[in-house]
Amino acid sequence: MASSFTKWLVAGVLTALAAAPAAAQGTVRRHLVYFRDKAGTPYSVTQPQAFLSARALARRTRQGIAVLPRDLPVTPAYVAQIRAVSGGPQVLYTSRWFNAAVVSCDSVTLRAITALPAVRSAVTLNRSFQALPAFTPPTQVVPSVSAATTARARYGKAYRQNEQIAAIAMHNAGYRGEGMQIAVFDAGFPGVDQISAMQPAFQEQRVVGTRNFVDGGTSVYLRNSHGTNCLAAIGGSQSGFYIGSAPKATFHLCITEDVNSEHPIEEANWLAAAEYADSSGVDVISSSLGYTDFDAPSTSYTYADMNGRNAISSRAATMAARVGMLVVNAAGNEGSNPWHYISAPADADSIMSVGAVDSLGNHAYFSSYGPTSDGRIKPTLSAMGFASAVLAPNGTAFRGSGTSYACPILAGMAAGFWQANPALTAQQVILALRSTATQANAPDNTMGYGIPNFVSAYNALHPNAPLSTEGPVIPSGVLGIYPNPSGAGPLTLVLPTTLRGQALTVRVLDARGAVVARKVLPATNFSETQLQLPALAKGAYTCEVSAGNTRQNVKFVQQ
């Protein structure tokens, strides 16, 4: 198969991504139909709440981004005209930014559609469609969990990939992605709703949206496990086994990729997912997808097309950046192949394209090179993508390689950095991480601006209140708390086994012994639980946690 996505699975020494079983094909043609204008639209830029969520509008307001005519939905009457054409065309979804619709129909019907006065042009996106393969849920494996007395033990196999970019220090400072919304675009998420390291996201209702742009509908816990691997690198949260780079973030899961074939329809799916993410109020898009060549008869790209302006997905990524989302995309795994260069949409302007390095910070041989064909430096930044730790659908941790994994690892850290610096725009987040990365003074087209570091970037913005790179060391069998000293964010309690499995009563006492806060936390079998306290004055406090007849105390300092 001449799929760039599939080649990433082979040439980039990625593992555990077996192809889905073959399924019966039905001939389905999908086309991107462009409209001439948005005349007669019932929508208005002065009433954006009709098509954008309050969270989407708040994201734009914070960054000074106006709602423009390009944001208006397509004219409903034009969609109705297509549906009225004989031949039974199906309008699968529409695009606000491209003023277009993805339509399923045969060639005769397409000619009738392009003859409509409202239609400007149309391009065919695919020639066939792979039906949804049968899916067998994986047998779940209960991982062995350590006592989690050190950062290395708490993070398990994911320790180095987080430590390399100072994501552990970020977590210790109280920034784990709380309140940040991340959309993950991929080929499927089987097992995500079952594996233990992802259960906190479901228990805390942090998976808030799912969309399947390949098959339609909202079922996403199926198809290819690549998305499971990538999501876990961000959202995994099981202390003593595996912790991702933004374990407390909120997620939207979108299937855009069909690994059974490669055609531009998948780029149109990427576009539709980006517009869904925009309207939902997403902050960060993490996309470990790339496009260079397509299956016949679709026309493949050339390196000259990698200018950020030609590919559908690259144009979509640029639009996503313009409306204030931080787009993080894998650079590609073509570094040792004849193609050599980055793929679309990593060539897009104003996004963070991520290359891969090993645990020592050396360029991974397969990681795609820049520049873009118009001479811009790519990748933007690099993160650990060689022998990265990710999770399989059955819950086991394994090591795989590819910029596909470097991308979500860095996307989670970028989300936490934005959480810590909410006044920044998405473009300022990229600039802050880029300007303090390891190659900031001598960027190249191998690793871009180098490996970013949360602490370095944070301290550059907060020189009078710098963070430490040290993390807490919590003795086994006793109650722990971090970050300590604490700041404005939530605290995390590290629970000994005697405090698990029962509802917890928490009291916070000041230095005089007066109770300043009380909380009741639900029972958990996890070794960590979050504690959100009201604003506390600076000073020393005692946190008392009890469950049944067991009571333990731990002291902390509020800065």
User: Residue 355's beta-bridge partner residues?
Assistant: 382
| Average pLDDT of the segment spanning 301-311 | 98
pLDDT at position 3, please? 38
Strands (E), 39-172: 90-95, 100-104, 119-126, 129-130
pLDDT at position 17, please? 26
pLDDT at position 494, please? 82
Separation between Cα atoms, residue 404 and residue 424, nearest integer Å = 26
pLDDT at 471 over 60: no
Q: Which CATH number does 28-54+63-126 carry?
A: 3.30.70.80
Q: Is position 279 annotated as part of the catalytic site?
A: no
- Domains of the chain, residue spans: 4-15+151-461, 28-54+63-126, 480-558
pLDDT at position 375, please? 98
Reported as a single tens digit per residue, the pLDDT across 19-34 is 222 233 335 589 999 9
pLDDT at position 132, please? 61
pLDDT at position 134, please? 60
Rounded percentage of the chain residues whose pLDDT exceeds 70: 91
Q: Is position 252 annotated as part of the catalytic site?
A: no
Sign of the C-alpha dihedral computed for residues 410, 414, 415 and 419 taken in this order? positive
pLDDT at position 35, please? 98
Q: What is the 3-state secondary structure (H, E, C) of 326-380?
A: EEEEECCCCCCCCCCECCECCCCCCCEEEEEECCCCCECCCCCECCCCCCCCCCC
Domain 480-558 falls under CATH 2.60.40.3080: yes
Q: Is position 404 annotated as part of the catalytic site?
A: yes
Residues 4-15+151-461: name the CATH superfamily.
Peptidase S8/S53 domain (3.40.50.200)
Query: Contact 334/371 with Cβ under 8 angstroms?
Result: no
Q: Pick the catalytic residue: 171, 226, 252, 263?
A: 226
pLDDT at 63 over 50: yes
Instruction: Pick 295 or 6 by higher pLDDT.
Output: 295
Reported as a single tens digit per residue, the pLDDT across 499-526 is 988 999 999 999 899 999 999 999 887 7
* Mean of per-residue pLDDT scores for the chain: 90
Reported as a single tens digit per residue, the pLDDT across 143-198 is 877 655 678 889 999 999 999 999 999 998 889 999 999 999 999 999 999 999 99
| Average pLDDT of the segment spanning 259-281 | 96
Q: Pick the catalytic residue: 245, 288, 404, 456?
A: 404
Q: Pick the catalytic residue: 71, 186, 258, 278?
A: 186
Query: Contact 536/517 with Cβ under 8 angstroms?
Result: yes
